[in-house]
A and B are shown apart, each in its own frame.
Chain A
Amino acid sequence: GQQLNQSPQSMFIQEGEDVSMNCTSSSIFNTWLWYKQDPGEGPVLLIALYKAGELTSNGRLTAQFGITRKDSFLNISASIPSDVGIYFCAGRAGGTSYGKLTFGQGTILTVHP
């Protein structure tokens, strides 16, 4: 089956620093999604990417859909304490927005004030 490798597994940074995490896949995805999950909550969608090469921003967050369709990265600029949480990439192989998702292993982000 499809596998997503997400790195790094965890990050410990100072407030104000920039953060970068990425996902690579063994196969092609047509959609890349980035989620944030707080403890005891469901994942919340941060950014959705639907085209190869697409670069999309959402406030301090920027994500890109790799040209090969096998990778994506998420950048967070000027981190703040509320950025703490687990970040997941997810890929969808279907040609529509209705296929099931494959999730990466997650990146645990800790921000020190």
Chain B
Amino acid sequence: GAVVSQHPSRVICKSGTSVKIECRSLDFQATTMFWYRQFPKKSLMLMATSNEGSKATYEQGVEKDKFLINHASLTLSTLTVTSAHPEDSSFYICSARARPGAPATNEKLFFGSGTQLSVL
């Protein structure tokens, strides 16, 4: 099946530093990637939608200068949490939407395994 690799799985950083999270589609091309944030035992909240080669679309209330998203290729999107603060500590999950045709599944959206960010 289609695999989405998210890296790192865990990161601890100091307040004020920036952290980059990568989301890669390993065996398919993803025209669109989605970034979610999740608090413990809570639902996934969509932060932004990124399309390859264009600017990301952010959901209401999400600071675009705080959460920088780059989708430079059809297999890679990155989320950079800039000047991280303890309140940015959370579980971040990406998902990738495959191009029509491949993989040959009905459902074209595949999730990464998440990144646990802890800001000290």
Contact = CB atoms under 8 A, between A and B. Distances in A.
A97 B93 contact: no
A45 interface: yes
B93 A103 contact: no
B82 interface: no
A88 B43 contact: yes
Interface of A: 33, 35, 40-45, 48, 50, 86, 88, 97-98, 100-101, 103-106, 108
A11 to B, nearest CB: 13
Given A100-B34, A100-B49, A106 B114 contact: no
Nearest to B31: A98
B107 A88 contact: no
A45 B105 CA distance: 12
Contacts of B49: 100
B57 to A, nearest CB: 10
A35 B44 CA distance: 11
B44 A98 contact: no
A106 B91 CA distance: 15
Given A42-B6, A45-B111, 13 more contacts: A35-B111, A40-B91, A42-B95, A42-B113, A42-B114, A86-B41, A100-B34, A100-B46, A101-B34, A101-B109, A103-B44, A105-B42, A106-B41
B114 A40 contact: yes
Interface residues of B, number: 25
A41 B43 contact: no
Interface in B57-104: 91, 93, 95, 97
A86 B93 CA distance: 15
29 contacts: A35-B111, A40-B9, A40-B91, A40-B116, A42-B4, A42-B93, A42-B111, A42-B112, A42-B113, A43-B111, A44-B111, A45-B107, A48-B106, A48-B107, A50-B106, A86-B41, A98-B97, A98-B108, A100-B34, A100-B46, A100-B49, A103-B43, A103-B44, A104-B43, A105-B42, A105-B43, A106-B41, A106-B43, A108-B41
